[in-house]
Amino acid sequence: MSSLIQQNLRVGQSVSGRDIAVLQRPGRQPGIFWLNGFRSVMTGAKASALDQFGAENALAVTRFDYSGHGASGGQFEDGTISRWLEETEAVFALTQGPQIVVGSSMGGWLALLLARRLLGNRDGRLKGLVLIAPAVDATETLIPARLGPGQHLALERDGFVELDSRYGDGPYRYSQALLDDGKYHLLLGSPIETGCPVTILQGGRDPDVPSEHAQKLLIHILHDPVTFTLIPDGDHRLSRPEDLDRLRAAVRAML
């Protein structure tokens, strides 16, 4: 079993520079490239399960914390899709050979944005995408839908709004900058090209990314093979033992 390599990667210039904490497990290709959800970290249940899967199968595994998350530097309040996508691309550049990109929630959105960049750059290393409750275009649809009139006013007045978490980990802060920046990265409304097979795992009892949202994504992926699995009693996190088994099976199918 290979040992983990820990490093900090500097991303951004001058005052926008931040140190991104990266964990890499050396191994054979295709490697596994993990993308966390909003407010999640690289040591979470799904990321750790995939790392263990990589260790058991001698596969390379790469995971990291976005700026303002976990072990990485930077302020969470400064986070935007543009900023976290920049970090995603910088860490992906550390990998070698073909990669299976696995993204959860916001990480699913970032995974599709990464796929678009790679396709545009004629980088053919993307072997497959596994998306867990992909929160595509969340800043345009999912987050605003959770806000009441008073919260919309608070967002305009203060530049941010806080919503109680359903997971007991404190309130989630959403900034106006995050919502505004998201407009530059919208995917729904036009064909989505990935250049690789796509698997979507979606919980039927997900209050954060409803199954209808994931199904809407399906009709936008027109030219790539897609496997959609609806887990009727599954929640948003899909971190139960049986959910982790499904995740490992989805990755194994792409090897």
Q: Name the CATH superfamily for 5-136+193-254.
A: Alpha/Beta hydrolase fold, catalytic domain (3.40.50.1820)
Burial degree of 241 (CB within 10 A; 0-12, 13-18, 19+): exposed
pLDDT single digits (tens) 224-243: 999 999 999 999 999 999 99
pTM: 0.96
1 pLDDT band, cuts 50/70/90, is low
Structure confidence at residue 168 (pLDDT): 66
Structure confidence at residue 254 (pLDDT): 96
Rama region for 207: left / alpha / beta (φ>0; ψ in -120 to 50; rest): alpha
248 pLDDT above the threshold of 80: yes
Q: Is the dihedral of CA 62, 68, 72, 73 positive or negative?
A: positive
167 pLDDT above the threshold of 80: no
For the chain, percent of residues with pLDDT exceeding 70 = 99
Euclidean distance between CA atoms 113 and 119, whole angstroms? 10
Average pLDDT, the chain: 95
Euclidean distance between CA atoms 243 and 158, whole angstroms? 39
Euclidean distance between CA atoms 147 and 135, whole angstroms? 17
pLDDT single digits (tens) 126-163: 999 999 999 999 999 999 999 999 899 999 999 999 88
Structure confidence at residue 225 (pLDDT): 97
62 pLDDT above the threshold of 80: yes
| Extents of the domains making up the chain | 5-136+193-254
* Mean pLDDT on 178-203: 97
Backbone phi, psi, residue 231, to 5°: -100, 100
